[in-house]
Amino acid sequence: MTHYSRKKNRGTSLIELMVGIAVGMIVVAGASVMMTSQLAEHRRLTLETQVQQDLRTAADLMLRDLRRAGSWAVPQNGVWSPGAAAAPMVNDYADTALTAAHGSSILEYSYSRHKDRGRSTGATPIADAEDNIMSSSTEKFGFKIEDGGILKFRIGDRWQPLTDKEVLIITAFDVQLKEQQIPLDDLYGVACPAGSASSPPRQLLRRFDIALTGRAAHDARVQRTIKVTSRIRNDQLLGPCS
């Protein structure tokens, strides 16, 4: 009876205690590794979302402004009509410039910045005469990469940052111009001289395919690319020989 009681009340041996501690440490280490992995994955997903949103915001702002390229105050004056006292005006805002520097595209264009009047009275806005002819550098716009990864927007003679280098670094800005010319022979009432280099009159359709690539400033492995397409809504007329 005494021998049985001593055996029943015997405590945990040192070996059993060490084994239990070792097993517990293994479990804690595994949980720590899992938690660290989850935190790293959450951080990576957060950075990916931020980079994606910043690129999308920059692309949307770019498309919204680029669609205005070639816009001017009185487009009706560029269309010929029977009995018109004056010849159709030429749209000075129609041209766009696509160049490259250091392997990155530089896109420049212009449009009229209309000056509205009578807004408080509900009258129809009227554009000043100076808005019909591009005579001010404030009506020039564009996009390019500068200062080691900042997407900049041109407003007149100044280039303003559109992205924050401390958060997003733009690594590539590639713009491709696609053009299509539509002959307007049937719509042009004046015969062009034989051998004229500018005939026949043509309508120029333009489309820009833009690829914008950026990476997170705090993790170079987090990189995303946004591809967008914008058609210039204000078509350009080429080759009138009158």
In angstroms, the first-to-last Cα distance of the chain is 127
pLDDT at res. 119: 42
Would residue 85 count as lying in a domain? no
Amino acid sitting at position 39:
L
pTM of the model: 0.72
Q: Which of 216, 191, 214 is nearest to 201 (CA)?
A: 191
pLDDT at res. 31: 81
Q: Which two tokens stand for residue 101?
A: 């520097």
For 220, counting Cβ atoms within 10 Å of its Cβ (0-12 exposed, 13-18 middle, 19+ buried), the class is exposed
What is the three-class DSSP state of 217? coil
Task: Give the range of the structural domain holding residue 182, as residue numbers without chain letter.
Answer: 41-76+90-238
- Could you give the number of structural domains in the chain? 1
Q: Which of 210, 100, 177, 95 is nearest to 145 (CA)?
A: 100
Would residue 165 count as lying in a domain? yes
Would residue 199 count as lying in a domain? yes
Q: Which two tokens stand for residue 55?
A: 């690129």
Would residue 219 count as lying in a domain? yes
Would residue 131 count as lying in a domain? yes
Would residue 64 count as lying in a domain? yes
Would residue 13 count as lying in a domain? no
Question: pLDDT averaged over consecutive 10-residue blocks of the chain (242 residues)?
Answer: 55 76 84 78 82 93 91 76 69 88 92 59 48 70 92 92 93 94 70 56 88 92 92 80 46
Amino acid sitting at position 100:
A
Would residue 69 count as lying in a domain? yes
